Amino acid sequence: MKLNWKRLSLVLAFILFLAFGFWYTQETTIQDHAPELDPALCQSITAWYFVNQKGDRDGERKEVTIQPGDPAFDQLVGLVRNQKFSKSLSGLLPLGSRSVRLEEGDFQWELHFNFNTPITTPDGNGHAGPLLQVHNWYGTLNLTFAHLDEIWRDASTGNKTNWSVQVLEAIQSAEGTGT
């Protein structure tokens, strides 16, 4: 009889673990996760990017600020706003260190959606600044919801490689028009 309880407990724990995993990693848009945080309402986007050229690990990291009215602004807002993201179970583990062997053409970028006008969160507090941050570090995607004090490490998204390239191209298209 005792053995059956142990087996039942193990099966139940496994089912609960699976249920948690499916719930935790479900895809959602930024709007669904944080409805008060509409990227289209930000006052500017600050973007940084780096593309590895010929193994030059120490190349220049470029910065551009993109304002509403710039075609890249609307493109970046659309790319982030319409994309579904999911958390990774590996994000629950301690971060540790990261390294990557760079190949020519590898890239990283970071977007900060700047809300200069405070937005009100469900708890009634007002928040301003770079409240939404999306960071692609050579294929590893992190999302930061600063007003919720929440970071999604190693997030995933459908067709992540092509989507990341589209974001990089939008940033680069703004480089000549940004500040």
pLDDT of residue 59: 67
Distance between first and last Cα of the chain: 73
pLDDT of residue 99: 60
Token pair in block for residue 22: 């499916």
pLDDT of residue 21: 66
CA distance 174 to 66: 7
pLDDT of residue 43: 93
pLDDT of residue 178: 43
pLDDT of residue 57: 62
Q: Report helix, strand or coil for 109.
A: strand
CA distance 66 to 79: 14
- CA 154, 156, 161, 163 dihedral sign is negative
Q: Report helix, strand or coil for 102.
A: coil
Q: What is the pTM of this model?
A: 0.77
In the chain, which stretches have pLDDT less than 70? 1-3, 20-25, 55-59, 89-102, 176-179
84: closest CA among 161, 27, 2, 136?
A: 27
Contact 36, 148 (CB under 8 A): no
DSSP label of 124: S
pLDDT of residue 168: 93
- CA 83, 89, 95, 98 dihedral sign is negative
pLDDT of residue 112: 93
pLDDT of residue 47: 95
pLDDT of residue 74: 94
pLDDT of residue 16: 79
